Amino acid sequence: QVQLVESGGGLVKPGGSLRLSCAGAGFTFSDYYMSWIRQAPGKGLERFSYISGSGDTIHYADSVKGRFTISRDNAKNSLHLQMDILRVDDTAVYYCARGVILDYWGQGTLVTVSS
Partner 1 sequence: EIVLTQSPGTLSLSPGERATLSCRASQSVSSSYLAWYQQKPGQAPRLLIYGASSRVTGIPDRFSGSGSGTDFTLTISRLEPEDFAVYYCQQFGGSAPYTFGQGTKLEIK
Q: Give the single-character DSSP code of 6.
A: E
CB atoms within 10 A of CB 76: 12
The SS3 call for residue 93 is strand
Nearer to partner 1, 4 or 86 (CB): 4
Q: How far apart are CA 95 and CA 110, in angstroms?
A: 9
**Residues engaged in binding partner 1 (CB under 8 A):** 44-47, 50, 59, 61-62, 95, 100-108
Q: Shortest Cβ distance from residue 45 to partner 1 (Å)? A: 4
Please say which residue, 32 or 50, places its beta carbon nearer to partner 1: 50
Maximum Cα–Cα distance across the chain? 40
Whole-number minimum distance, CB 10 to partner 1, in Å? 19
Shortest separation between residue 15's beta carbon and partner 1, angstroms:
25
